[in-house]
Amino acid sequence: MKYTEEHEWLRVEDDVVVVGITQHAADELGDIVFVELPEEGTEVVKDDEVVVIESVKAASDILAPLDGEIVEVNGAIVDEPSKVNDDPEGEAWFFKMKIEDLSVLDEYMDEAAYKAFVG
């Protein structure tokens, strides 16, 4: 897995990138009560706002970590947002995206670097 400075994780499965938020982000947000995901087929550019997430503490936008196309979203977390608190780095992924060049993931932090980043 790779990690962004915005506390997203990126995991490659076959030819798509699965995107979610880290345990650190989920802990900082507190109890998540609402998630709005993008529509499948949406073309996004890095840093586009793609997800709205609301918790008892705050509302946040999740930005696209890469350029690409949203090919699948996790409807389960829309129906039950608390899943993000329960398993943010597993079953509570946000979306899957197809990108042109997987080598761009090399620019992101590995787990050790991310752990040092959140310190």
| DSSP one-letter string for 51-100 | EEEEESS-EEEEEPSSSEEEEEE-HHHHH-TTHHHH-TTTTT--EEEE-S
Instruction: List the domain range (segments joined by +) for residue 53.
Output: 2-102
- Non-local CB neighbours of 99 within 8 Å, separated by 6+ positions: 17, 66, 67, 68
The tokens for 48 are 């586009």
Please tell me the pTM assigned to this model. 0.95
Give me the pLDDT at residue 56, please. 94
CATH code of 64's domain? 2.40.50.100
Instruction: Kindly list the averaged pLDDT for each block of 10 residues, start to end, along the chain of length 119.
Output: 97 96 95 97 97 94 96 98 96 97 95 96
User: Mapping DSSP to helix (H, G, I), strand (E, B) and coil, where does residue 48 land?
Assistant: coil
User: Is the residue at 108 inside a domain?
Assistant: no
Domain count, the chain: 1
